[in-house]
Amino acid sequence: MVIKSIIQERNLSLIPPHPSTITVKMQHPETTERNNRLQLFVLVRILFQYLEKVNQPTLLLAKKILKDCERKRHKKDFKYDSLADAIEDRLRDGVGEAHWRHACAIQKRLEINRQSKRAKTL
């Protein structure tokens, strides 16, 4: 009964929309790029917290890589025009695929948890 009243209150339907009626919201390329940079920033924070607990030497290496990327960007190195791409490539190589994937998995779990909490509040 509660679900039915919520559906009626919010003008929702139990029948999924027909695929031909679904519209895709296109984002501006700059917005998408900004979101990608933000997601990378979050991933780097998660990676650092994870490495702090499991592998201190790799954490120190990752921090050195990050500082080196920033330094080369300020020196106008053409390979570092896209700082986000350079950081992603160098960090992924530096910490190894296993640590990188583990941090990505943590980020996905956090996003799922955040979405489920948001859904519960509705």
pLDDT (mean) for 21-32? 61
* Residue 5 amino acid letter: S
User: Number of helices (H) and strands (E), helices first, in the chain?
Assistant: 5, 0
Tell me the C-alpha distance between 61 and 105, whole Å. Answer: 21
DSSP at 1: -
Tell me the C-alpha distance between 121 and 1, whole Å. Answer: 18
Cite the beta strand spans of 46-104 per DSSP E: none
Q: Is the pLDDT of residue 56 over 80?
A: yes
Residue extents of the structural domains in the chain: 43-122
Contact between 84 and 37 under an 8 Å Cβ cutoff? The reply is yes
The string of pLDDT tens digits covering residues 73-120 is: 888 888 888 888 999 999 999 999 999 999 999 999 999 998 888 888
DSSP states of 64-75: HHHHHHHHHHHT
pTM here is 0.70
What pLDDT is stored for residue 21 in this prediction?
Answer: 54
What pLDDT is stored for residue 120 in this prediction?
Answer: 82
Tell me the C-alpha distance between 65 and 100, whole Å. Answer: 14
What pLDDT is stored for residue 36 in this prediction?
Answer: 85
